[in-house]
Structure 1
């Protein structure tokens, strides 16, 4: 089948900035023409908003702009990253200038007030309303009487963008590490040790340090799984603590940057007549108000508190038993709470008692095999067909009836890359009635295969891949008129819901067995890798053993209370620091104290030795468009669990329900003004915002072992 449009093309470093300049010029020319030809008296949707929408469709339907924004997550070099940063700065500055134009705002408002507005389709009405809100958020209609105030507002907005860029660059370029002796790394698997470089030997060593320095050390980076490997596998509590506290100290420079960003955001919101930055941001979200959001988070914290405390008690019991066996137990430990650096280690030990071995599980999930089978599942559910066009790049084209779209999966070990899905070109309806097809890329920091081995996924990475692929499928299935609403381009407190709902399939036995490799799908690299680790077994089992799958599913909600309480603490921090109302509140803000106070109070662990750290400075969300937004994972998880329980739980493979879901939710993208109403129509009832707590409460029995009766466990 012939391809209806060219495949996406990766821009060279030299093309990035000139391409962005050409895009900006197109917008400038179109806007100037509209301002020249139209007055408030003659303004309509068709002569003001539609030309901009058609240009936006053309520009963002083309892959060049999408590729530039994709490269902010995966630029192949520092020079390319610098070019992307410059291009994005040009776009941000231009966009800010466009949406602060009072003359254009007056045309949009005039078009909104014309009688023919009510004759427009709902998506077009929604588009105009969204555009007007963008202008209001830049001060239009509020600061029009004072150009000096508007100029100051714009200048501060650009200052915030600069601070955010510096914050993000510090994160992406952070390269800290800690050196440990092999004795200190006891327990860490050989395949992890092999990733780390040896510390160079010192040329001059004093006699008194000769013996100490004679033992070789490994340099363990914070990034690329180094910290996680230490916290998960190192037997020495001192090693785990050292790594945790060292990592906790990184990015000190981001404290002052973030504190300044938060203060400037508060001041900017008040200039636009909002009481707080949170109220300014919530206006574009699905959640009805900041008060409703605070109530939602408080209710979750209260409901999950007992569950989290029970889970800490279990880990504390296991910890004290382990320390006693290692001769490191003392009476002083009984007066202390559970330290955060021991969470992953004792979660692993408890999982092993459940006979859940993540390394063993990963042997059945080689990346490419698993991804291909995932696509097969989506194809079956949603009536799709996936054809490979560049196997070496893991590229695919997706054929759905007469529609052809594209997706590809990129993986690698770029420092600090975050699993994400990026739309490189957005689908939309062209002016001639034909359709522009989308392209989408999954970018995940999965293990990189070598010439003699393949990348293996732990179960949590299988879930991550399914989640991000869910975003990609949403992107491919959307049928919107405008790129503004294509795919998952909708409020984030709804946009994460479809992918979070899909994670449920990663806990269904038939799905996991189908995703695992078999002797008919594995390649030679996988066989070689298997035989290296299992020299007495000639070939791997045909599929993952039932007992492994059963144990994973049985203990799905192990420590779920603590996991969600951590989400609550971060979301509460995000909301609280962005809810500053007075000059005194703004002046007295201490993000460091607030961060650790909330984590200790909500999560219930002992953060007393961590309070001089800067862990809050590592969260890209807080300065990358997710301010007053971290709650979305909880908000969407609740809706996702209600959707799964109400529609799919009784028959997860019901193709008729999947067909209705595709047409009733996914194809709309973000084109519906009332997303909660859309979901209510599909469900047949208002979303149940207690669905997550009800699920965890119902599943609590049998998920975690009882606390040992012979150990006193303070919490």
Structure 2
């Protein structure tokens, strides 16, 4: 029998409890702050009497706040999400009032200036005080008058509300396109079965005249772009998708205008210079140089990759007897390639490599693949994952949706040593966050009595729902995504910090993405892929029966993925990788450009034009027919905390490649190396101020920020 975890599962509040709970939390902060101000002066202020009481409240209430915050992503109830919005506004207003408090800023500043006392603190406590002071400095203390500070904070709250509206529009978007079955030629039958039938268009009773409503969400757009044989179908879907959420265009433009003016109000040259203070990278000059260098090195590789797609496209069009885009001009390699054709011709080229992503996906049913990944982490990190059985009567108290699963996590070398809880919430549903992410539900921290609060974290994804005759199946790139997000969750579980402020991946994203990106390399190992795989027909007799109907006369499929198929996946692992990173680079450059435009020019910046200009230049696609779209209005990162940070994926990819190549590649399952990595990197969370220095200590040398480019260049030369 498994041991009982020392703390219960966190409780999910009812809709009616959310706002009162947030008000109580705010009251707890207000009481402690008032007590500190009543009993302390700048002369008597110390870390113990000023910062520690605040830290204790923050630690104690963090789990409740995180649960309420999670419900904005995970609750299927719009009423619950609306209650979150009210609660979040209360909390944001309270935080604004706290950071507006000049008297409290004076106490914190006094603590910081007592150098002897400061130097006596442990490094994590020093970091906590410096981070708290940064909050006050970036609220205008030391720069703005009391009146201007009030104006600044009011405007900051208004930006937060605009960002909330942007995200809410994105989460509640429910559009799509109606297609006849003839237009959807090439789309797998199991995908068609997921989409609802529409009234036909009156053209007759022919089967192909029947229509399906294909939603943008739940994998609809991607499925059509990848599989529909007709270019006009792919184009129609792509253009419709790019024109959704037009209401987010003015919101986004207003957000970046206000950000620029707020930064200037605080005497920063730009919003980028303001935000970079909270990143591992500390100057916009370094960032611009890093991105320009990537552009110089990656663009030639990307141009060649588009050339491969273009040649395959021309071959396909000629084979279909179609005009190849008005003659020789558009047939020139890399010129005039339409973005709606990228996924489709990637698929055809992969099929030329004898890589069929639909066939591959049959061996990676979602639930079994996710559970198999837990086995990998159990092996290398000496962990044990035990399913938690929740009594039916208690489900509504601890689970926010009926298909959520929970595991208790333990150190396998010590059966009594708990790690925390891991939740799986893996499938798309209405009103749920549309991307894939790891969501902290409870930070770990050291309690005043020196015992520990254990963490809880959620793997919250939106993988497409199952079909009537099969379970949810993952293409290889989705396997990589799942492993990446699970890596964040493991990072969150293994952190052992003193304060919640620095727990897990609560660190700058331009370092925090590195551990998970490093782990993606395991998804290209033959043993790993074969161990994770099991053909979905082995899970249920009805699946096998349906497969036999669809494949008459064929032998039953193998139970695990064939070795030769895995060999092909690995052999072509770098196919279109440069284009993948150039896509990230284009958005990173857009992110940097809109957030470094000065206040004199920001009102005249054509965000829509800039978005498509940069994407066309860097990604070598022809966006001329969709430049009136709102791609930036469907992109969540830049209004959800990743402003001046999308480059993090490039920065972390470089560090991750360096770490994997130099430390793990020789023996990816060396438990001594994993133990050293766990203690040096994962357990530290965000507690170290010098994150790059922490990584250099682990490597024993400076980080090679060119590792990614070197790998892609070498791969291109070997093809």
Alignment-derived partner of residue 472 in structure 1: 489
Listed as ranges, the matches of 1:335-484 within 5 Å are 335-336=329-330, 337-390=336-389, 393-400=404-411, 401=414, 402-415=417-430, 417-449=434-466, 453-484=470-501
Secondary structure class of the residue paired with 2:460:
strand
Which residue of 1 is the match for residue 400 of structure 2?
none
State how far apart, in whole Å, the 1-side matches of 2:406 and 2:553 are: 36
Once the two structures are superposed, the pairs formed by residues 119-130 of structure 1 within 5 Å of their partners are 119-130=120-131
Distance 1:244 1:26, change over 3 A: same
SS across alignment from 1:481: coil
Residue 395 of structure 2 aligns with which residue? Answer: none
Higher deviation after alignment, 574-583 or 519-528: 519-528
Q: For the Cα contact (< 8 Å) 2:444–2:455, is it kept in 1?
A: yes
Distance 1:374 1:12 in 2: 33
SS in 2 for 1:184: coil
Could you tell me the TM-score, scaled by structure 1's length?
Answer: 0.94
Give secondary structure in 2 for the equivalent of 1:410. Answer: strand
Q: In the TM superposition, what is the alpha-carbon distance from 1:643 to its structure 2 partner?
A: 0.5
Aligned match of 1:615: 631
Instruction: Find 1:594's aligned residue among 583, 606, 610.
Output: 610
2:206 and 2:617 map into 1 onto residues whose CA distance is 41
Distance 1:451 1:589, change over 3 A: closer
Distance 1:390 1:527 in 2: 29
Q: Does 1:643 align with 2:644?
A: no
Distance in 2 between residues matched to 1:519 and 1:268, nearest whole Å: 53
Query: Which residue is 1:678 aligned to?
Result: 694
- What do the CA deviations read for 1:579-606 (whole angstroms, capped 9, x no partner)? 02241x1221111011111111111211
Equivalent-residue separation in structure 2 for 1:641 and 1:42 (angstroms): 49
- Where do residues 562-577 of structure 1 align in structure 2 (5 Å cutoff)? 562-577=579-594
Aligned residues: 693
Q: CA deviation at 1:411?
A: 2.0
Query: How far apart, CA to CA, are the structure 1 residues paired with 2:197 and 2:251?
Result: 34
Cα distance in 2, alignment partners of residues 177 and 333 from structure 1:
33
Q: Rate the CA distance shift 1:342–1:284 in 2: closer, same or farther, 3 A.
A: same
Per-residue deviation, 1:68: 1.0
The superposition leaves residues 292-349 of structure 1 with CA deviations (integer Å, 9 ceiling, x where unpaired) of 0011011001101111111111111111111111122246153231111100000000
Is 1:197 aligned to 2:190, yes or no? no
Deviations 1:46-86 (A, max 9, x none): 000000111111111x3x22211111111211111111111
> Structure 2: any 5+ residue segments left out of the alignment?
331-335, 391-402
Query: How far is the alpha carbon of 1:696 from its aligned partner?
Result: 0.6
For the residues of structure 1 that align with 2:177 and 2:537, how far apart are their CA atoms? 43
Question: Under a length normalisation based on structure 2, what TM-score does the superposition of the two structures give?
Answer: 0.93
Alpha-carbon distance between aligned partners in 1 of 2:325 and 2:503, rounded to the nearest angstrom: 60
Which position in structure 2 is the counterpart of 1:140? 141
Residue 2 of structure 1: CA displacement?
2.1
* Alpha-carbon distance in structure 1 between the residues aligned to 2:315 and 2:267: 57
Distance of 2:124 and 2:467 partners within structure 1: 48
**How many Å apart are 1:542 and its aligned residue?**
3.1
Q: CA deviation at 1:530?
A: 4.6
Residues 411, 447 of structure 1: 8 Å contact kept: no
Distance 1:470 1:530, change over 3 A: farther
Listed as ranges, the matches of 1:85-234 within 5 Å are: 85-114=85-114, 115-143=116-144, 146-201=145-200, 215-234=209-228
Cα distance, 1:21 vs structure 2: 1.1
CA deviations on 1:196-247 (whole Å, 9 max, x unpaired) are 1122247xx6xxx779999221111111111111111111111111111111
User: 22, 43, 66: which one pairs with 2:24?
Assistant: 22
Q: Is the 8 A contact 2:218 2:465 kept in 1?
A: no
CA distance in 1, matches of 2:537, 2:296: 50
**More divergent stretch after superposition (189-198 vs 346-355):** 189-198
Q: Which residue of 1 aligns with 2:56?
A: 54
Gaps of 5+ in 1: 704-715
Q: d(CA) in 2 for partners of 1:687 and 1:414?
A: 41
Q: CA deviation at 1:521?
A: 7.9
Partner SS for 1:396:
strand
CA distance in 2, matches of 1:430, 1:285: 28
1:530 and 1:399 map into 2 onto residues whose CA distance is 39
C-alpha contact 2:502 2:685 (8 A) present in aligned 1: yes
Distance 1:349 1:481, change over 3 A: same
**Alignment partner of 1:595: what SS?**
helix
1:546-585 pair list within 5 angstroms: 546-583=563-600, 585=601
Give the 5 Å matches for 1:279-318.
279-318=273-312
Aligned to 2:81: 81
Q: Distance in 2 between matches of 1:118 and 1:129?
A: 12
| Residue 507 of structure 1: how far off its partner (Å) | 0.3
The range that moved more, 537-546 or 275-284, is 537-546
2-structure distance, mates of 1:532, 1:124: 65
Deviations 1:471-510 (A, max 9, x none): 1110111010000000111001000100000000000111
Shift of 1:372: 1.6
Q: Secondary structure at the match of 1:580?
A: coil
Q: 1:38 aligns with which of 37, 40, 53?
A: 40
After superposition, give the CA deviation of every residue in 1:607-657 in whole Å (9 maximum; x if it has no partner).
111111111111111111111011111111110001101100111111111
2:396 matched residue in structure 1: none
SS in 1 for 2:209: coil
- Give the Å deviation of 1:105: 0.7
Alpha-carbon distance in 2 for matches of 1:697, 1:649: 18
Q: For 1:113 and 1:528, how far apart are their aligned partners in 2?
A: 74
Cα distance in 2 for residues equivalent to 1:150 and 1:574: 27
- Structure 1 residue aligned with 2:523: 506
Residues 470 and 536, structure 2, Cα contact 8 Å, conserved in 1: no
Residues 400-444 of structure 1 show CA distances to partners (whole Å, capped at 9, x for unaligned) of 131241101012222552101111111001110111100111011
| 1:629 matched to 2:663 | no
**Distance (Å, rounded) in 1 between the aligned partners of 2:14 and 2:599:** 48
CA contact (8 A) 2:99 2:136 kept: yes
CA contact (8 A) 2:264 2:599 kept: no
Q: CA deviation at 1:277?
A: 0.3
- State how far apart, in whole Å, the 1-side matches of 2:28 and 2:529 are: 49
Distance 1:526 1:460 in 2: 24
Counterpart secondary structure, 1:283: helix
**Alpha carbon RMSD of aligned pairs, Å?**
2.0
Find the partner of 1:278 among 237, 257, 272: 272
Whether the 8 Å CA contact 1:102–1:141 is kept in 2: the answer is no
- The answer to whether the 8 Å contact 1:453/1:528 transfers is no
Question: C-alpha distance in 2, partners of 1:508/1:631?
Answer: 27
Contact in 1 for aligned 2:193/2:468 (Cα 8 Å): no
DSSP-derived class of the 2:48 partner = helix
